[in-house]
A and B are shown apart, each in its own frame.
Chain A
Amino acid sequence: MSMTIKQIVLYSHTGEQRPLLFKSSCLNVITGDSKTGKSAIIDIIDYCLGRGSCNVAEGVIRRSVSWFGLEVENDGSALFIARKNPGPGTDAGSEIYVRRGSFDAPPEFADLARNLSEGELVSLLTRFIGISENEHRPQSGTRLPLEATIRHALFLCFQKQDEIDNRDRLFHRQGDQFIPQAIKDTFPYFLGAVDEEHFLKQHELDTAREALRELEQRASRQQEQRNIDLGRARRFVNDGKRVGIVPQDFEPAQVDATIRVLTAASQVELSNAAALPDFGDTINRLRDEQSTLRETLYRVTEDARTARLLFSERSAFSREVSEQRSRLSSIGLYRNEADEREVCPVCDSPLTVPTPGTSHIRAALANVSTQLQAVEIEQPHLQRHIEELEAKKLQLEKELVDAQTALVRAIAEDERARAQHDALLERARVVGRIGTYLDGLHPDQTEQDLTPLIEAARRRVEGLEAAINADDAAQRLDTYLNIISKQMSEFAKGLDLEHSGSELRLDLKKLTVVADTEDGPIPLNRMGSGENWVGYHVLTYLALHWWFRRRKRPVPGILIFDQPSQAHYPADRDQEGSLDPLEDKDRHAVQALFELMHAACSEMEDLQLIVLDHAHLTDPWFEDAIVEEWRRGRFLVPPHWDSRPN
């Protein structure tokens, strides 16, 4: 199913309602004189479906209507949208009311109050007609990605009076700024040439490309590190000689030999007896003391932590019980008491589970209060224990600082020991630097070999690229346009149009219809006469909707034509809608046009085609299709609504 219009409801300033009901999924005709409000229908529907500005012409409608209401239906679920008339002189109002669900009557005037904003209305409707997430990515990258919404779908649903016979513009609002590009961008989606999955895959591809790039960068960084620079190696050799871990007579000339020597140097055992002469007894004793202190401190800290954890668990329990007590205490607010009841107070039927009585709740309250007291009594002991541990820790820390100071002093006193100490430090530093350098040269075993990963990432990117081949989408689009063009030619058989015998084609790049003749392609704007222009507009829209309905695309199943018969039956020749004053040729043309629309509607199951026109054919099927006839004092807006007589 697709979205169709159930009714338009206008509200007067005094709260009167004027409903205009439509039949779903068939031809709906509103016939009538000029200036009865026919052309406002498209503007009212467009405004209610989220257009930014209200384009209803200034005049009686703008003056006497307070809210425009529209009820739409899609697959059994109904949505009522009302927008406040911005009133004469302005063109945008922010007050929007929506109501979901099926009701017998439109909302009361008093209920209409803002409960939605315009942006949300568009997103609500977009989801309502079934457009899932989609995004058009322009190839050039200069435009922002465009998301298709209901607003884009509606370009394919309306033809206003000045559009249906326009030879330069095929689509609704094609003359407005930016609109042609938006139509071209969203068309592939609405036709079904690219699906929602296309965009998901596009996103996946972006991620995969990013991952590949990252892997390649990492690989090239690894490569760089492996390049050996002899100049740097020589510096390390000199450092090594200075601290005595490289033989003094070694000359770094060859890369391999240099690396070998440096590797040996980096493995020198720093703390062996040869490298580290005796420091003296004092220093050793101080070191021992220091490490014992450290161990004790660690144990005490650990104990304190455990105790604190236990304490916090206790308080979590008491917090939980306090919460229960607090929530149960609501019982005190009830002034009446009642026992456990086994019947329902509404219907007096017996309950399988009785409603608890006041005494139950009070008992539970007393119970948790007792528990809470027990916990609170126990807590102080634990707290004291923690305090003791903290004090001990402080003491130990102080002792450790003292030991450290003593050690520093002992080392300072021993001149020889200090020199040794410095040399040891310096040597350790050089060994460390050489180690880092060598690690860079020979990436150790834990560093992954990136080649298979890069290979896999590259295959993934290629696979995704193949899956979303843009050419593929373009080909599918061409095929679909071809099928639609064939259907146009099929529909054209009933109409007597110039070039209707030749191949018709929808040109998406130029947004026009082209007839391929033996003399070359003839676009719409080079064809003559108004009747052709109207005819090709009607054909194009019918064929597009034929496709949308067939493929169940998320375009509303609504098509509205404003005065399709104007080329043959201009308003000034209107005589009660009768075709009699027309010449034979014109009469046949109007008849054929309406017959085509009738036939198309019978063929397409869920298309709601609304035609606003002067003509009133006498055929029974036409009479059946008439929704309302606006002549002899009947208008869209009841005349007595207008406060200003003119």
Chain B
Amino acid sequence: MSLAPWAKRTPEEANLFNPALLGLLASEFIKEFSKAKGAPCPFALPFCALPIALHCKTRASLPATTVTSLYTWRERNPEALVGYADRAKSLRPAVQEAIRFCMDRGALEVASDGGLKLGKVPVSATKKFEFTLTRDAQECISAARLLGRWFAKAGTTSTILAAWGIKP
């Protein structure tokens, strides 16, 4: 599955999942992940995290803090996995585009180990900017930050992917 050129996309879909927003979410996720882990973020994780942050129902069921372990939470919220694989699959090209979008602008770059890290001109949502947003968009940003910290504590990439039902 791949995206249509920008001009030919359905306006609603193009606007709601535009690369500037997705790039911002990916950057916030990677920032928090790297801060907690002290290492660049594995390339696969934004593809796992963004569908969670963007899905209203899953977002609402996320824990308040990272004290609850990923596996514990998943055992308590089995419904979070329903439709997750499809959402992750259909969002994949948009996330790819967002990462390219950020690289074109120097907001993200590839680290020496193949992971992702913030670039020379990073993007980050300021308090003042967030204030201008709708509630939905604000929640997406804070979910992306939480997921960054949370995934950093959950073990290896394959353990995280397995918890979301993706075979390593």
B118 smallest CB distance to A (angstroms): 13
Name A335's closest neighbour in chain B (CB-CB): B121
Q: Mark A70-100, 1 if CB is under 8 A from B, else 0.
A: 0000000100000000000000000001111
B-contact 0/1 string along A322-343, CB 8 Å cutoff: 1110111111111111101100
Which residues of A331-371 have CB atoms within 8 Å of chain B's CB atoms?
A: 331-338, 340-341, 344-346, 351-356, 358, 360-361, 364, 367-368
Given the known interface contacts A344-B100, A355-B100, the answer about A361 and B16 at a Cβ–Cβ threshold of 8 Å is no
Contact call A115/B158, Cβ cutoff below 8 A: no
A323 lies within 8 A of B159 (CB): no
Q: Which residues of B contact A101 (CB under 8 A)?
A: 156, 158-159, 162, 168
Contact of A337 among B72, B105, B124 (CB under 8 A): B105
State in angstroms the CA–CA spacing of A295 and B104 once bound together.
67
CB-CB under 8 A for A352 and B2, given A329-B133, A341-B100? yes
Which residues from A are CB-within-8-Å of B69? Answer: 114-117
| A338 in contact with B16 (CB, 8 Å) | no
Assembled-state Cα–Cα distance A330/B107 (Å) = 13
Complex CA–CA separation, A164 to B82 (angstroms) = 48
Instruction: For A176, list chain B residues within 8 Å (CB).
Output: none
Please pick, from B16, B123, B125, the residue contacting A323 in the complex, using a CB distance under 8 A: B16
- Chain A, residue nearest B103 (CB): A345
Contact B19 A346 (CB under 8 A): no
Cross-chain contact of A331 among B20, B100, B154 (Cβ < 8 A): B20
Chain A contacts for B154, CB-based, 8 A: 115
The reply on B49 being an interface residue by CB < 8 A is: no
What is the interface residue range for chain B against chain A?
35 or more
List chain B residues, Cβ under 8 A from A345.
Answer: 100, 103-104
How distant is the Cα of A331 from the Cα of B24 in the complex, in angstroms?
Answer: 9
B16 pairs with A324, CB closer than 8 A = yes
Residue on B nearest A360 in the bound complex, by CB? B6
Residue from A113, A328, A335, A355 in contact with B104 in the complex, judged by beta carbons closer than 8 Å = A355
Q: In terms of DSSP, what is the predominant structure of the interface of chain A?
A: mixed
B132 contact set on A, CB distance < 8 A: 326, 329
Which of B6, B15, B19 lies at the interface centre, i.e. has the most chain A CB atoms within 10 A of its CB? Answer: B15
- Assess the A324–B15 pair: CB atoms within 8 A: yes
Chain A residue at minimum C-beta to C-beta distance from B102: A334
Contact in complex: A353, B4 (CB < 8 Å): yes
Query: Is B20 a contact partner of A330 (Cβ separation < 8 A)?
Result: yes
Complex CA gap A114/B126 in Å reads: 33
Least Cβ–Cβ distance between B165 and chain A, in angstroms = 11
B64 CB, min distance to chain A CBs, angstroms? 18
Whether B18 contacts A328 by the Cβ 8 Å rule is yes
- Residue A251, interface by CB 8 Å: no
Complex Cα distance A355/B22, Å? 13
- Smallest beta-carbon distance B57→chain A, Å: 16
Question: A298 vs B80: C-alpha distance in the bound complex, in angstroms?
Answer: 46
- B-contact bits for A94-124, CB 8 A (1 contact / 0 none): 0001111111000100010111110010011
Q: Determine whether the beta carbon of A338 is less than 8 Å from that of B158.
A: no
Interface residue? B136 (CB, 8 A):
yes
| Known contacts A329-B133, A330-B20; is-contact A111 B72 (Cβ 8 Å) | no
Complex interface: chain A residues within 8 A of B158 (CB) = 99-101, 103
By a CB distance below 8 angstroms, the chain B residues around A356 are 6, 18-19, 97, 101
On chain A, the residues within 8 Å of B126 by CB distance are 333
Indicate whether A107 sits within 8 Å of B156 (C-beta atoms), given known contacts A101-B168, A327-B137, A328-B20.
yes
Contacts of B103 in A (CB 8 A): 345-346
Q: Indicate if the CB atoms of A328 and B15 lie closer than 8 Å.
A: yes
A356 to B21, alpha carbons, bound, how many Å? 13
For the complex, give the distance between the alpha carbons of A101 and B104 in Å.
34
B65 an interface residue at 8 Å Cβ cutoff? Answer: no
Whether a CB of chain A sits under 8 angstroms from the CB of B11 is: yes
A578 to B37, CA, bound (A): 54
Which chain A positions have C-beta within 8 A of B7?
Answer: 360
Q: Are A113 and B129 in contact (CB under 8 A)?
A: no
A351: chain B residues within 8 A (beta carbon): 100
How far does the alpha carbon of A458 sit from the alpha carbon of B125 in the complex, in Å? 66
In the bound assembly, the distance between CA atoms of A330 and B11 in angstroms comes to 17
CA distance A320 to B5 in the complex (A): 23
Q: Which residues of B contact A327 (CB under 8 A)?
A: 15-16, 18, 21, 137
Question: Does B87 reach chain A (CB closer than 8 Å)?
Answer: no
A117–B20 CB distance below 8 A: no
CB neighbours of A123 from chain B (8 A): 75
CB-based contact B15/A364 at 8 Å: yes
Task: Quote the shortest CB–CB distance from A276 to chain B (angstroms).
Answer: 61
Q: Which residues of A contact B153 (CB under 8 A)?
A: 113, 115
Taking CB atoms, residues of chain B closer than 8 Å to A120 are 71-72, 75
A330 touching B24, Cβ below 8 Å: yes
- Given A329-B133, A355-B19; A324-B12 close (CB under 8 Å): yes
Residues of A within 8 A of B23 (CB): 330, 334
Please name the residue on chain B nearest to A322 by beta carbon: B134
Contact A334 B18 (CB under 8 A): no
A113 → B minimal CB distance (Å): 7
Cβ-closest chain A residue relative to B114: A346
Given known pairs A100-B168, A120-B71, A336-B121, the reply for A355 and B97 (CB within 8 Å) is yes
Nearest-Cβ distance from residue A581 to partner chain B, whole angstroms = 51
Taken together as a complex, chains A and B put the C-alpha atoms of A338 and B103 apart, in Å, by 10
CB atoms of B2 and A353 under 8 A apart? yes
What is the CB-to-nearest-CB distance from B67 to chain A, in angstroms, rounded to a whole number? 11
Give the docked Cα–Cα distance between A346 and B107 (Å). Answer: 13
A-B contact pairs, 5 of them (CB 8 A): A341-B104, A360-B6, A364-B14, A367-B11, A368-B15
Known: A111-B155, A334-B20. 17 other contacts (CB 8 A): A101-B158, A101-B159, A103-B156, A116-B69, A117-B69, A124-B71, A323-B136, A326-B133, A328-B18, A330-B24, A330-B123, A332-B129, A334-B105, A346-B100, A351-B100, A356-B18, A361-B19
B: residues with CB less than 8 A from A are: 2-7, 11-12, 14-16, 18-21, 23-24, 69-72, 75, 97, 100-101, 103-107, 110, 121, 123-126, 129, 132-134, 136-137, 153-156, 158-159, 162, 167-168
